[in-house]
Amino acid sequence: MAKVRVERPLVEMEGDEMAQVMWAWVRDRLVLPFVDVGLVRFDLSIGHRARTDDRVTLDAASAARRHGVSLKCSTITPDRTRQRELGLARALPSPNGTLRAALDGVIFREPIICRNVARLVPHWAQPVVIARHAFGEQYRAQELAVPGPGTVRLVFDGADGSESRELYRFDGPGVALALFNIDASIRGFARACLHYGLQRRMPVYFSHKATVLKQYDGRFVDLFAEEFEAFAPAFAEAGLVYAPRLIDDMAAFSVKSTGGYLWACKNYDGDVQADYMAQGYGSPGLMTSVLMSPDGRLVQTETAHGTVRRHYDRWRAGAPVLANPLATIHAWSRALWHRARLDGTPDVAHFAETLERAAADLVDEGVLTPDLAPLAATRRTPVDTAGFIDAVAARLAGALR
């Protein structure tokens, strides 16, 4: 069987623990036997990041910008406990945060829907894509513990003058928090969401609280509206809509709807809603994650779960691995699909779609890992992770003949 040839390489970022083991299994059993693709590899495991003082993450980001499509395995972001456990000189920053900042991207999370996996919200028949603005807000905020009576002010020192506004006059101890965002990032967020909505043929809704945060959220609403002007003809031709919606209304709508739309969220909102949606669709392990630049020309796919340490400890002890690898499979398939989209190679896109369908068909037939088996209406004797990947490889080989 001739391999499908990919014209341009993928940037591969390897990770940590069980996620990296499953990553290698999927790459070596489901991708490389069927696809002739160049891989520009970077080791983002915690040990290698520590040895390079995290320079490797910046090098990986540079390569991702150069080649256009990259994919990333889950990595460890150490807290103080893990820093001591791993013997690190310092608690390295999140490589995801470093890469998102370098690529100026927006995160798109989408559930992997399998008919045989029960959803907590049964009428969510179509996927909902959660778009998360990955800049500013709680993740780059300044917080202050107020020790006692006094006044907290919000101060702007500008080149053409200054402005000071009283935030709150404290009668006793408390806390204060200052958030920020910038027009350039908000505009990029809007463009990325609108590009993605067109690619997936989905209406786009931006959730906000501009009734209360008239200047802060109001700025998001205004800039989304300005950016949409350039997209309006294409949206109309595709029969799609864009609309801003109050987050209260959007949350209620999400519960009642059947899915099939893109929900654009501010940074922290997107963090929360992605987890909420993952549970509603069945499992956090059944989610895809794509980071895309505002112009749609840079894409990084990710595994949407952590490093699966519990399963890693079992695997090192010699026990079989029982985690489902669907998110890892989709990280590879979606990277190949975007490579095909950018390069104009439909045979590569066909392979990516066939790989996803082979995995989903097995789940629907009851071939499941133990973590998914309790959610399934139809199931055979559960298989371990390696057994599931081997079954996908056999199904894929048959479909490509």
82 is in an annotated binding site: yes
266 is in an annotated binding site: no
Spatial CA neighbour of 336 closest among 301, 361, 292: 301
77 is in an annotated binding site: yes
308 is in an annotated binding site: yes
309 is in an annotated binding site: yes
311 is in an annotated binding site: yes
Give the burial class of 176: count Cβ atoms within 10 A of its Cβ; 0-12 exposed, 13-18 middle, 19 or more buried. Answer: middle
Q: What is the DSSP letter of 31?
A: I
Tokens of 66: 């150069």
99 is in an annotated binding site: yes
113 is in an annotated binding site: no
16 is in an annotated binding site: no
271 is in an annotated binding site: yes
What are the two backbone dihedrals, phi and then psi, of residue 160, each rounded to the nearest 5 degrees? -110, 20
280 is in an annotated binding site: no
385 is in an annotated binding site: no
Residue with tokens 């609108």: 194
306 is in an annotated binding site: yes
Residue with tokens 């043929």: 201
401 is in an annotated binding site: no
Residues 130, 223: Cα–Cα separation, whole Å: 19
Cβ-Cβ contacts under 8 Å for 236 (sequence gap 6 or more):
none
314 is in an annotated binding site: no
256 is in an annotated binding site: yes
248 is in an annotated binding site: yes
Residues 270, 245: Cα–Cα separation, whole Å: 15
98 is in an annotated binding site: yes
Strand duo 150-158 + 174-178: pairing: unpaired
CB 99 within 8 A of CB 54: no
324 is in an annotated binding site: yes
52 is in an annotated binding site: no
Distance of CA 393 to the CA centre of its chain: 25
Give the burial class of 173: count Cβ atoms within 10 A of its Cβ; 0-12 exposed, 13-18 middle, 19 or more buried. Answer: exposed
Q: Where are the alpha helices (DSSP H) in 263-375?
A: 267-280, 309-316, 326-343, 346-364
Label each residue of 157-169 as H, E or C. Answer: EECCEEEEEEEEE
100 is in an annotated binding site: yes
The annotated binding site for Mn(2+) is made up of 248, 271
The annotated binding site for D-threo-isocitrate is made up of 77, 94-100, 109, 132
The annotated binding site for NADP(+) is made up of 75-77, 82, 256, 306-311, 324
The annotated binding site is made up of 75-77, 82, 94-100, 109, 132, 248, 256, 271, 306-311, 324
